[in-house]
Amino acid sequence: MKKIQMVDLQSQYYKIKPDVDNAVLNVMNTAAFINGPEVKFFQSELETYLDVKHVIPCANGTDALQIALMALNLKEGDEVITADFTFAATVEVIHLLKLKAVLVDVDYDTFTMDTEKLKAAITPKTKAIIPVHLFGQCSNMEEILNIAEQHDIHLIEDNAQAIGSEFTFSDGTVKKSGTMGIMGTTSFFPSKNLGCYGDGGAIFTNDDELAHKIRGIVNHGMYERYYHDEVGVNSRLDSIQATVLRKKLTLLDTYNEARRKAADYYDDAFADCAEILTPKRADYSSHVFHQYTLRILGGKRNDLQKFLTEKEVPAMIYYPVALRKQKAYFQDSNDVDFVNTDKLLEEVISLPMHTELDDEQLKYISDAVLEFMNK
Ligand SMILES: Cc1ncc(COP(=O)(O)O)c(C=O)c1O
């Protein structure tokens, strides 16, 4: 059996090596490393895939979030609501821009923003909401969009973990994740569902004015060369990453299907174990399984992880600490308001999930989990 990894990027690369190698060499030969045609092609191909008017590539998913917030012209102290249970990038950029992060609990079953908690957190100072489509599934966007509209608040979707997933509205309309808010952001970090071979990110919007503003912000605030109209940043996707992404975008749906197949295998394997809760698939969103995250009941999670390590099955805890309790962003909080986050911190464990898992590996992993749980 092939060694089991959390993410097997090498095997994935070998399957597309001739194409990708040629594309990368072609960029080297043309020497158009920055803002070359490959970046423009990728941008327009991603616009078509997402059915969104503008994709503005940038250097990584954290920059994408920061730039999206910069484009809104918020004032120091304005409040931005996001989830307590996620990767730190979202809350980090809020702090960097001297805005006030207001964290809310997540839903226990979907790991995404609890919409009742969101409603309760809104104040006259709330200027933006950033739901995170965690682990590969959209947040409850219909409700969140309604709440944002009612209160006239900007909505930015952090889509770093869910590219390719689709949200179905109650009237039957279907939209790609990241294209429903005023802006969406993503990361092309190598292990992401659409990942490059270095760092990369992008902002999506259907708003022409915002798109224009963002194109300036990513380029030192320049709209005309050497005329700086506002304070911007230098945040670019380079041509080598863009050419890799062009190839991988054509495979994104196939990759997401492979992840779903692996998730189906795990779901079936764990269906009869009462102490394992498999990830819920919400009826409003398709799931692209950036992570396959179990909740382990009975206080057994940490021992399960140790057991799996002994069996050479990697398994990760995403995430071990609530953002409100991280030193950098520490917030006074009433723990009663965060019961789901606090429960999940003790229960979650993510199993290997990627496009290259085969049945032999999936069986070995599930057998190992069940061997421990049935002891
Ligand atoms: C939910 C979420 N947001 C933002 C980011 C930041 O992306 P990057 O690592 O490209 O800066 C990540 C990356 O791990 C993420 O998972």
Ligand 1 atom at shortest distance from the alpha carbon of 132: 1
Q: Tell me, what's the pLDDT at 187?
A: 98
Ligand 1 contact via 87 beta carbon (within 6 Å):
yes
| CA of 11 relative to ligand 1 center, distance in Å | 23
Cα separation, 3 vs 329, whole angstroms: 38
Ligand 1 atom at shortest distance from the alpha carbon of 187: 10
Q: Is the CATH number 2.60.40.10 carried by domain 14-249?
A: no
| 52 Cα distance to chain centroid | 18
- What Cα–Cα distance (Å) separates residue 278 from each residue in 58, 117, 186, 285? 35, 24, 26, 16
Torsion angle (degrees, nearest 10) of CA 325, 329, 335, 341: -70
**How many helices (H) does the chain have, and how many strands (E)?**
12, 14
Q: Tell me, what's the pLDDT at 333?
A: 85
CA-closest residue to ligand 1 atom 12? 160
Ligand 1 contact via 102 beta carbon (within 6 Å):
no
Cα separation, 373 vs 2, whole angstroms: 24
DSSP string of 27-60, one letter each residue: HHHHT--BS-HHHHHHHHHHHHHHT-SEEEEES-
DSSP strands (E only) in the chain: 54-58, 79-83, 100-104, 126-130, 154-158, 166-168, 174-176, 183-187, 201-205, 222-224, 227-228, 276-277, 292-296, 348-351
Q: Tell me, what's the pLDDT at 53?
A: 98
pLDDT digits (tens, 9 = 90+) for 73-88: 999 999 999 999 999 9
**Sequence spans of domains, the chain:** 14-249, 252-373
Residue 76: helix, strand or coil by DSSP? coil
Q: Specify the pairing of strand 79-83 against strand 100-104.
A: parallel
CA-closest residue to ligand 1 atom 7? 61
Judge contact between 287 and 112, C-beta under 8 A.
no
* Residue located via tokens 């299907």: 257
The CATH number for 252-373, chosen from 3.10.310.30, 3.90.1150.10, 3.10.350.10, 1.20.1580.10, is 3.90.1150.10
Q: How far is the first Cα of the chain from the last one, in angstroms, to the nearest whole number?
A: 25
Mean pLDDT (10-residue bins), the chain, 375 residues? 97 98 98 96 98 98 98 97 98 98 98 98 98 98 98 98 98 98 98 98 98 98 96 98 98 98 98 98 98 98 98 98 95 89 98 98 98 96
Ligand 1 contact via 187 beta carbon (within 6 Å):
yes
Structure tokens at 114: 């609890």
Ligand 1 contact via 60 beta carbon (within 6 Å):
yes
Ligand 1 contact via 340 beta carbon (within 6 Å):
no
pTM above 0.95? yes
Mutation test residue for ligand 1: of 6, 62, 193, 316, the one with most atoms within 8 Å of CB = 62
Ligand 1 contact via 186 beta carbon (within 6 Å):
no
Ligand 1 atom at shortest distance from the alpha carbon of 201: 10
Q: Identical fold at 14-249 and 252-373? A: no
Candidates 176, 192, 213, 248; catalytic one: 192
**Active-site residue 53, yes or no?**
no
Ligand 1 contact via 131 beta carbon (within 6 Å):
no
Ligand 1 contact via 202 beta carbon (within 6 Å):
no
| CA of 201 relative to ligand 1 center, distance in Å | 9
